[in-house]
Amino acid sequence: MDLRSVIRTIPDYPRPGIMFRDVTTLLADARGFRRAIDELVQPLAGAKIDKVAGVEARGFILGGAIAHQLSVGFVPVRKKGKLPYKTIGERYSLEYGVDEIEIHIDAVAKGEKVLLVDDLIATGGTASAAVRLIERAGGEVVLCSFVVDLPELGGADRLRAMGKQVVALAAFDGH
């Protein structure tokens, strides 16, 4: 099964010229979802992972399933103001402004090995902020995993430039 075949493309969303890669169709396909989780776990065979960090919101779905399969804890990486306990945050640039993501101050212990997961890597702004945030908390990001890579936007290369290993299950041309 080619995972690309179960990922819907929505033209001109959220604005003209964008080809939105919608993984909700993958999540709804039992075989596709299972295969994606298995393939995201496979590069970790034999590796010690303490936590899986999933970026809001589809990264929660993928990360939760991966954490369950690995029998490790899950860390939600959320937009500012969404977590109920004390947090640490990391700001990052958007096309038109700045945003911030947060984790709880006790989500990652010093020296823990962390897998970072999200559905898609585009420019890498959110993912690189998540890496910096996890590392500031004392964790070590050992792998950044995505279902979809948009290589023309350079996000995976941005993470590699930070010294991170990147895995993506499918690549799509364009934005």
Encode burial over 71-91: b for 16+ CB neighbours within 10 A, e otherwise: ebbbbbbbeeeebeeebbbbe
What amino acid occupies position 102? Answer: E
> How does strand 97-104 pair with strand 73-79?
antiparallel
Q: Return the SS3 of 65.
A: helix
Contacts of 15 (CB under 8 A, 6+ apart): none
Q: Which of 21, 58, 78, 158 is catalytic?
A: 58
Catalytic residue list contains 132: no
Tokens in use for 31? 């075989």
For 4-9, which contacts have Cβ atoms below 8 Å and span 24 or more sequence positions? 4/170, 4/172, 6/32, 7/147, 7/148, 7/170, 7/172, 9/172
Dihedral, CA atoms, 72, 109, 76, 48, nearest 10 degrees?
-30
Tokens in use for 69? 């399969």
Catalytic residue list contains 58: yes
Active site residues: 58, 95
